[in-house]
Amino acid sequence: MASLILKPDREKSLLRRHPWVFSGAVARLDGNAGIGETVDIISAKGEFLAKAAYSPNSSIRARAWGWLDTPVDADYLRAKLDTAIQRRASFAEVDAYRLIHAESDGVPGFIVDKYGDVLVIQILTAGAEYWKETIISLLIELTGIKDIYERSDVEVRKLEGLEQKTGVLRGNPPEKVEITEYEIRFIVDITNGHKTGFYLDQRENRHMVGQLAKDRDVLNCFSYTGGFSIHAMAGGAKSVMSIDSSKEALKLGVENAALNGQASSNHEWLEGDVFQELRKFRDSRRDFGMIILDPPKFAPTRSQVNKAARGYKDINLLAFKLLQPGGVLVTYSCSGGVDAPLFQKIVAGAALDASVDAQIIRKLSQGADHPVALNFPEGAYLKGLICLKA
Ligand code: SAH
């Protein structure tokens, strides 16, 4: 087996069991390893540190599969997948949830979302791609599910030297799947929707918004297919306005509303740019009792953090202005480059510049099916705050 030898004193993060080996920490590769193949990670002093997937094209040169000097093979992967699946036992009654959450489940680069009887997988890294067929067979063995679809159409694959891929992997998965989330029905477009089709990480947060929406005029910004909107309406909102830039997402949102008996005139869908639409509402002095901001990743990595901070500040400032007294702001960041303390600082700055007095009444994150391994803090990507305007 080939070995990746680290430079002196570069083993600290691996000793803390952080799974990533950056190219800057690597002295050399001893032996030959193809893309995605397993290598031993060895310190400059010659100690064994980890078994890892080799990714020669990426600045994350290797990702640890594990910390013991035991082979990485189908049995090893079966144990990892089985543990992840067992840990979701409490989701037995939940229709749609994340079954495998990559690094945080000890399977770097491999995501599996379960929508009813369909699995949608996303492969992000060379190591996960190398074991793809093995992992698919294991998933069938462990879940009994026969219909599997791939949504590996993500930019980050380029960094790993991988092409984007989508399509049926096994069985005959339908293009669209209906799921139920806290008694609300949603159609999920697994072939054309975002990510694997639905933002499963916000399940509990959508439910919570439903519970806070009663008698409020709700503005749901970055609505996608109406997740927060439909929960808000079901929770007794007076009106709901959903904004998204994607016509297809809004179209499915309208269908989802109808599916839940909400095809009423107090449910509006606006195709537009949130940054501009919020300014139009400000200029026309329109106000709302609840505003939800769930934008896409403004900063995937630390390098875009300043630009992202300006984006978050802008929309949160406008939202604070548009809120009625006693109004609720539900605001998120899913940017890896913006951590929770920074996000809170940005929102505080937005309130200050809007001359608004507000409190945090809840701090939110992703659901329990998107766990954060303690040795992998990068897994805590979703940050949310519920703020109450005075
Ligand atoms: N809250 C949603 C998920 C939001 S994902 C849910 O619970 O399902 C982010 C959404 O923002 C996507 O649907 C994307 O189309 C939309 N989007 C991205 N940039 C936008 C912009 N500038 N204005 C409006 N919508 C935007």
CATH 3.40.50.150 given to domain 199-389: yes
Q: Which of 290, 354, 295 is nearest to 320 (CA)?
A: 354
First to last CA, the chain: 63
Kind plus residue range of the DSSP H or E element containing 342: helix 340-353
- Alpha-carbon distance of 388 to 390, in angstroms, equals 6
* Pocket-testing residue among 209, 219, 224, 312, ligand 1, by greatest number of atoms within 8 A of Cβ: 224
Residues in CB range of 191: below 8 A, 6 or more apart: 149, 166, 175, 176, 197
Which ranges of 48-98 does DSSP label H, i.e. alpha helix?
74-86
Residues in CB range of 385: below 8 A, 6 or more apart: 329, 330, 331, 343, 344, 347, 360, 362, 363, 364
Q: Where are the domains of the chain?
A: 3-66, 74-176, 199-389
In this predicted structure, what is the pLDDT of residue 263?
78
Residue minimizing CA distance to atom 20 of ligand 1: 245
The verdict on the CB of residue 269 being under 6 Å from ligand 1 is no
The verdict on the CB of residue 274 being under 6 Å from ligand 1 is yes
The verdict on the CB of residue 197 being under 6 Å from ligand 1 is no
CA 254 → CA 180, 187, 199, distances in Å? 16, 11, 17
Which atom of ligand 1 is found nearest the CA of 275?
Answer: 22
> Which token pair is 355?
């001359």
The verdict on the CB of residue 186 being under 6 Å from ligand 1 is no
- Alpha-carbon distance of 313 to 333, in angstroms, equals 11
The verdict on the CB of residue 316 being under 6 Å from ligand 1 is no
In this predicted structure, what is the pLDDT of residue 49?
98
Residues of the chain short of pLDDT 70, as ranges, are: none
Q: Are 171 and 149 in contact (CB under 8 A)?
A: no
The verdict on the CB of residue 199 being under 6 Å from ligand 1 is yes
In this predicted structure, what is the pLDDT of residue 383?
97
Which atom of ligand 1 is found nearest the CA of 273?
Answer: 23
* Pocket-testing residue among 184, 209, 222, 276, ligand 1, by greatest number of atoms within 8 A of Cβ: 222
Residues in CB range of 261: below 8 A, 6 or more apart: none
Residue reference for tokens 């510049």: 353
Phi (first) and psi of residue 343, to 5 degrees: -60, -45
121 CA from centroid of ligand 1 (Å):
22
Residue minimizing CA distance to atom 7 of ligand 1: 227
Residue minimizing CA distance to atom 3 of ligand 1: 224
334 carries an active-site annotation: yes
Which of the residues 52, 124, 334, 342 is marked catalytic?
A: 334
The verdict on the CB of residue 298 being under 6 Å from ligand 1 is no
The verdict on the CB of residue 277 being under 6 Å from ligand 1 is no
CATH 3.40.50.12500 given to domain 3-66: no
In this predicted structure, what is the pLDDT of residue 102?
98
In this predicted structure, what is the pLDDT of residue 45?
97
CATH architecture, domain 74-176: 2-Layer Sandwich (3.30)
